[in-house]
Amino acid sequence: MEWTDEIIAQLKELWGEGLSTAEIGRRLSITKNAVVGKAHRLGLPPRPSPIRRDGKPKVAAAEKAEKPATPAAEAAPQPAASAPREAAPAPVVAQSAPPPAPPAARPSPAAVAAPAETVERKEKAAPKPAAKPKPTFRSVSDPEPQKRRGPACCWPIGDPGTPGFHFCGATPLPGKPYCEEHAQIAYVRLRDRRDTMA
DNA sequence: CCCTGATTCGC
DNA sequence: GCGAATCAGG
């Protein structure tokens, strides 16, 4: 995996948006582990973790136990690195949204050319779904995005690292990193998105 | 089961 | 540095 500045910036952006690691991973066509791992290494602010890892590392404990480790290192004081980020309820994906709308009633974002193709989670080795010759999207919300220099929709098109990879670039919605149409896809329930697209 | 994020550790 | 495997809670 080649972590270019662009991709890293994307990661930070999405992370800051409060998206789940898996979601970010889907967007960038990488695994959530990669996302988490990188985020961790980058020192990005941790999100509320569903779990609490302290008293029972089964395997890890066993392995660790075999390592003597220098007792002196334990005395090191550790100032908590808690980030100021507290309220990040998120524009977040409506994962827990009520299911009133039948599948058929899905918004169906017209001109959208499914970016990350929502690759199958099990098919990690899947070849690049890329190939999006016709970026029909930007013409809708912004006829001439290339002239603008302000905020740009950072929805990834294609896979990072591949030749045709780029970001949407259209004018984002206020407060969001995506343009109107991509925001639509961005904030829907995962399940729906999975079978709706493709 | 599905989801989630964090840590570990071989590479 | 990277990320799959693993762990663990909801």
pLDDT tens, position by position, A167-177 = 788 888 887 77
Q: CB within 8 A of A74, min separation 6: which ones?
A: none
Helices vs strands, H then E, count in chain A: 7, 2
Q: Which two tokens stand for residue A171?
A: 């004018």
Residue that wins the pLDDT comparison between A10 and A150: A10
A81: nearest Cα among A42, A45, A51, A52: A45
Q: How far is CA A29 from CA A10, A39, A106, in A?
A: 12, 15, 24
Global confidence as pTM: 0.54
Subset of residues 132-191 in chain A with CB less than 7 angstroms from any atom in strand B: 190
pLDDT tens, position by position, A17-67 = 888 899 899 888 899 999 999 999 998 988 877 666 654 444 444 444 444
Residues with CB under 7 A from strand C: A 1, 3, 30-31, 33-34, 36-38, 41, 50-53, 56-60, 124
CA of A106 to C1' of C6 (A): 37
Nucleotide B8, nearest residue via CA and C1': A60
Q: Are A141 and A180 in contact (CB under 8 A)?
A: yes
Nucleotide B9, nearest residue via CA and C1': A60
Q: What span, in angstroms and rounded, lies between the C-alpha atoms of A178 and A93?
A: 14
CA of A25 to C1' of C10 (A): 21
Check residue A170 and give its pLDDT: 84
| CB atoms closer than 10 angstroms to residue A171 | 18
Check residue A162 and give its pLDDT: 62
